[in-house]
Amino acid sequence: MLCLLGCFFTLGSAGIGIPQVCYGPDYGCFDLFPPFANPLMKLPQSPEEIGTSFRLYTRDNNIANEADELDDSSVSKLKESHFNITRPRTIIVCHGWTETGNGYDNWMIDLKNALLDKGDFNVILVDWSRGANQDYGQSAGNTRLVGAIVAHFINFLIYHTCITGQLAADKFYFIGFSFGAQIGGFAGLRLQKKYGMKLGRITGLDPAGPYFTATDKEVHLDKTDAKYVDIIHTNAGYIGTADIVGDTDFFPNGGSIQPGCFPDPKDSPVFIVGCNHLRATKYFVKTVTGNCPSPWKGHACSSYSWYWLGYCRDCGDGGCPLMGYKADETKLEGEFYLNTGTWDTLCPEA
């Protein structure tokens, strides 16, 4: 992994020093010029400090739960791994703030197992936990570099597996939670600008809101970052963004407060916020496993209030998109609402 660390100051139009960091030709430079002129969102730390790693799982090596460690510089690791670009999909999964990608009891492992039960895929878990376990402003800034690292890694996989260009990029699918969703946006944009390829799909699981909401589309996950972008909002207006940023934006239970996560005096604020925020990951895993009795139909409506009152319950001529894994089967554009059940079932209402 080529990394040239540099930190220097350039002069803005008003003569004010603008900090900038550069990490070699692979990852490029990052500054605080607009649209990133937010002093609370710090410049990315170095690749060594963030420590991004990639763990590959396939049906061939998942039984023993032994991942193939990959990076963007070792062709021998790639050739010796179980990676096969001819599989129907290469799915990259990325965690959010204060999380880790290598635990054995987190939502990423549940999702990885569900995906490999669903199909013969390459599933790659991204771990940037050292960079994610900083103060919020630093971790938010680190997402910019992690996005560049992911884009370079995707190009590395495509370049060294004999299928080049957009045909291969079409089969890449990025799923990110919170900060991980914003990383998907940075990766998708970088892949287009630097490598001339566009990701097939990005799913944003309650994309992080603070420092990303109401910003330029280069600063947050946007529907232009992949051929298809779908969003599941579960804590909109709080930790998650309330912005409509995808081709298809789903708002289960209104998108802000989820069943089983209502404020309770005995619960800590961290639990209450985290419960709603993380519910996006639980819903998505459920949509992959397919073990709910009713489909995850989203209904087009002008607001959740109208939907809750019983309006907008018909699918109409255009049909209803399915929230989660199967959203790309219809790719219907707009805002869609649905209700789910209790904490125990986490399934959509009939």
Q: Which residues are catalytic?
A: 178, 206, 277
For 113, phi then psi, to 5°, come to -65, -40
Distance CA 123, CA 103 (A): 15
State the Cα–Cα distance between residues 350 and 340, nearest whole angstrom. Answer: 9
Other Cβ atoms less than 10 A from the Cβ of 329: the count is 10
CA atoms within 13 A on the CB side of 316: 11
Phi, psi of 288 (to 5 degrees): -75, -45
In terms of DSSP H, where are the helices of the chain?
24-27, 47-50, 75-80, 107-118, 129-132, 136-159, 166-169, 179-195, 269-289, 304-308
35: cis peptide before it, omega within 30°?
A: yes
What separation in angstroms does the CA of 311 have from each of 2, 296, 303, 314?
A: 56, 18, 10, 8
